[in-house]
Structure 1
């Protein structure tokens, strides 16, 4: 097993599926793994198969009543009482409907994020990647936004309990990382930094700059919302500044990051207009800062991403390529038109309803420019200035 990075995956995570028409599709996990393997970047020795989370671990974040309701709704035929209670626990919506066996399946997802945290905190590897995780919207007593249990929150709580470490949680999903924020809103030892599209127009409607934490945790919550149609330059200008300042200020022992890749222009559930470039550059920034401030300790999770054919496999692959410092990353900096492996394209073209991209990076010079680019960029700068006003430069 590589000292540098471990790839955490369990086949049962592919069962985290609400129904055949739901946008959350675990097929993206298979596509990403296959792309990395066909690129020669992922070896069997780098895999780790995790155990399911125990109830006592779920209860680090979730209430007993909620866990019991998830279990009750996981039965092949739930009782009338469980079905009546589903609404109270957020498990009867179009976004987050209950499904058979969801307790066991989601406990496996949570177990993967705990395993990734343990790998890094125990010193087995500097970095661990668990793409099945990143279910950041679930609350202690409620499911929401495609999320049943909040694996990110449980992994952070596990690190706090077992290792008493300061945790910086970085959320790069286009949707605000609300569940993790509220779980640690009063905790001075967990800093949450969420970079997302403004909640004025997008679920979950939170993540404003004035959500800064409370009590002992005041100042430990940083939200950097961006405008719709934000592009690469503005996104990365804000991300790099926020990361540099927050890490230098908080001085974490470990970084836990969530990597939804739904800020891409092709994603159907948001309005940000970025390319694959940000999914190359954001992991690079986190990787550098983890080694500079955290002795390399970095746990990365998956998250949103709903163009599973054209976006997610490439975006998530860059995470692993960065963690392992794979030579492909150097080649990409020199060859922006570097093609994807032909064997991968041949395999997935047969299944995809859309034409797949043929290169690792998007050819943005062919994209239509956003007409309000300067206005959006300036608005993002003003918002970021307010968001970071209490974080020293």
Structure 2
């Protein structure tokens, strides 16, 4: 697919205006994490201007790939500085009446930009201009066809996947590593055999959105193309990675995608305030490496990565998303971290952000992992293994 014009370097789709996706100052979803991550990569010298691509906003026609016309009209109307009373009365119907996803001025415009950025990432990869593209501002995986949910207004992942399928005829493997189940994307393609959705997440027994059970497998001709790995609360690195690696290896070999789209919420970290999984930065080094290897084995290297959740945006998100980009771009730091796991973060980045952080920033890329093991580790690992086996039931 256009290999003759393919650039060697990966592309980084970004616009500083994406930080305008902001509900209010006390809301846990804070896009300042984009600024911290970009600054970390620049302080490292790992984000050359030649790698940057600016997005254009998605059109309403593109938004309709995943959302209904009436929902888009509601978002536009509720984006006004003073929405009409008739629309305010309908806000709850469209998911905008709770503290999770409150409406805000200009939300249609800025979320359309986020969607457009994920579409551009797909176009850059599927046109052959690059093999890998990252859009950190995306991954809004909870938005439903007719409703905002879970901090998500438009579902950029679903739009981008449908665009890849329509425009390029691509079979897409979607991998969701956010600690919250990727429900919006799953339901978008639950009866679509050309899209396989795989989500590893904390079980919905205790965590939003309450879905993602192992027996949610797709329907009709798409049965078996929906794969869920709901892990137990207080799951740690080894069990998380064991489950993901084995299931994902089998899923990729079985489905043989033309394109991998991955969502990299980094809220399974022990520091994250909104979940109960107890992983370290090690998984955010390991998961991109696993996906990178599978992309080159099964999808001709075609890989689009998106951001997602992550609510300790001082200590976790900048390191996790930087590790993702370093892996995607084959940066020498990847090999160096293998040799020097206690490698320190750039001093200039720490000096820039520590005065603003309410917590002490970590000094190293990876955690020291001297944490006390979780109680019931053996039982948790055994339960996760049972779940893993059920998840692979229809993968031969």
User: Is residue 309 from structure 1 mapped to residue 314 from structure 2 by the alignment?
Assistant: yes
Give the counterpart of 1:390 among 381, 391, 394.
394
In structure 1, the partner of 2:32 is: 27
Deviations 1:324-353 (A, max 9, x none): 111101111111110000000000001101
TM-score, normalization by structure 2: 0.98
Shift of 1:29: 0.3
> Superposition pairs for residues 68-87 of structure 1, below 5 Å?
68-87=73-92
Deviations 1:113-164 (A, max 9, x none): 0000000000010000000000000001000000000000000010011001
Find the aligned partners of 1:92 and 1:100 in 2 and give their Cα distance.
14
User: Is residue 45 from structure 1 mapped to residue 50 from structure 2 by the alignment?
Assistant: yes
User: Is residue 369 from structure 1 mapped to residue 376 from structure 2 by the alignment?
Assistant: no
- RMSD of aligned residue pairs (Cα, Å): 0.8
User: Is residue 155 from structure 1 mapped to residue 165 from structure 2 by the alignment?
Assistant: no
Shift of 1:111: 0.4
Secondary structure of 2:94 counterpart: coil
User: Is residue 100 from structure 1 mapped to residue 105 from structure 2 by the alignment?
Assistant: yes
User: Is residue 379 from structure 1 mapped to residue 383 from structure 2 by the alignment?
Assistant: yes
In structure 1, the partner of 2:177 is: 172
> Superposition pairs for residues 268-283 of structure 1, below 5 Å?
268-283=273-288
Structure 2 unaligned spans of 5+: 1-5
In structure 2, the partner of 1:238 is: 243
Contact 1:2 1:45 in 2 (8 A): no
Find the aligned partners of 2:142 and 2:283 in 1 and give their Cα distance.
23
In structure 1, the partner of 2:359 is: 354
Contact 1:2 1:46 in 2 (8 A): no
Contact 1:8 1:112 in 2 (8 A): yes
Find the aligned partners of 1:188 and 1:2 in 2 and give their Cα distance.
31
Shift of 1:12: 1.5
Find the aligned partners of 1:37 and 1:255 in 2 and give their Cα distance.
27
Contact 2:9 2:51 in 1 (8 A): no
Secondary structure of 1:93 counterpart: coil
Give the counterpart of 2:324 among 319, 328, 335.
319
Find the aligned partners of 1:143 and 1:90 in 2 and give their Cα distance.
5
Deviations 1:249-277 (A, max 9, x none): 00000000000000000000000000000
List structure 1 segments (4+ residues) > 3 angstroms apart after TM superposition: none
Contact 1:41 1:326 in 2 (8 A): yes
> Superposition pairs for residues 246-265 of structure 1, below 5 Å?
246-265=251-270
User: Is residue 296 from structure 1 mapped to residue 298 from structure 2 by the alignment?
Assistant: no
Find the aligned partners of 1:62 and 1:233 in 2 and give their Cα distance.
38
Find the aligned partners of 2:22 and 2:375 in 1 and give their Cα distance.
38
Deviations 1:28-77 (A, max 9, x none): 00000000110111111110000000000000110000000000000010
Shift of 1:4: 2.8
Contact 1:136 1:180 in 2 (8 A): yes
Find the aligned partners of 1:2 and 1:293 in 2 and give their Cα distance.
20
Structure 1 unaligned spans of 5+: none
Secondary structure of 1:364 counterpart: coil
Find the aligned partners of 1:364 and 1:22 in 2 and give their Cα distance.
30
In structure 1, the partner of 2:3 is: none
In structure 2, the partner of 1:126 is: 131
Find the aligned partners of 1:3 and 1:106 in 2 and give their Cα distance.
30
Find the aligned partners of 1:268 and 1:25 in 2 and give their Cα distance.
13
